[in-house]
Amino acid sequence: MSFSIDTAVDISWFVVGLVWLLGLIGQKRKARTEAVRNRFFHWGLFLLGFTLMGAKWLSEGWLGMRFVPETAAVRTTGLALTIVGCLFAIWARLTLGGNWSGRVSQMAGHELITSGPYALSRHPIYTGIVTGLAGTALVGGEWRHLLGAVLILLALLVKMNNEERLMMEVFPETYPRYRQRVKALIPGLL
């Protein structure tokens, strides 16, 4: 059986999806969640971004042109970033446990998690996803991959902003101190 870089990237994202699916089993009940209309914008960006990254039929025209050379070094670097990003996102998801929700939500018995990957980034799932997407864009190498990754990043930033507001409301004493201590996405920088 031949094992390609493309296959390894696909497996990495499949494992992320599987962890998320299995994580639904232990999810806490939602006490409060964002309005449906607030989700449309970031979900639309997600959908468009994932479509650009995954739909091979979009490889026509300028979207299919390469933004990086197709070399073993570029593809191997992309694979490494994809695997590291996916593993970091999985670590963060497992650490968050039942507090996780696909929607911006306050869970019943919500806890502020500040350990593990949450000691490095306030939104380590997003850090991992963005790192993995950057790697996947390098492996694919086409402009559609890069544009898709950027759209997904924008969707995550919109969602992150909504989560920040909610966390400030839910944890008015502890979250501001946590925000001062830990950067949102990139440890020590952003």
Q: What's the longest Cα–Cα distance across the chain?
A: 55
pLDDT at 107: 81
pLDDT of residue 122: 97
Beta partners for residue 106, in sequence order: 32
> Which token pair is 112?
């502020």
List of residues 6+ apart from 165 with CB closer than 8 A: none
* Both tokens assigned to 28: 């806490």
**Tens digits of pLDDT across the chain (190 residues):** 457 999 999 999 999 999 999 988 877 787 777 777 778 888 899 999 999 998 888 888 999 999 999 999 999 999 999 999 999 999 999 999 888 888 888 888 889 999 999 999 999 999 999 999 999 999 999 999 999 999 999 999 999 999 999 999 999 999 999 999 999 998 877 7
> How far is the C-alpha of 91 from the C-alpha of 113, rounded, in Å?
13
CA distance 132 to 149: 9
pLDDT of res. 24: 82
pTM confidence score: 0.92
Top-level CATH class of 36-98+112-181? mainly alpha
pLDDT of res. 101: 83
- Tens digit of each residue's pLDDT (9 = 90 or more) over 79-119: 999 999 999 999 999 999 888 888 888 888 889 999 999 99
Distance CA 145, CA 58 (A): 10
d(CA 10, CA 5): 9
Contacts of 26 (CB under 8 A, 6+ apart): 97, 98
Residue 152: Cβ-neighbour burial (10 angstroms; 0-12, 13-18, 19+)? buried
Q: Where do runs of H (alpha helix) occur along 97-142? A: 124-140
Is the separation of the CB atoms in 130 and 156 below 8 Å? Answer: yes
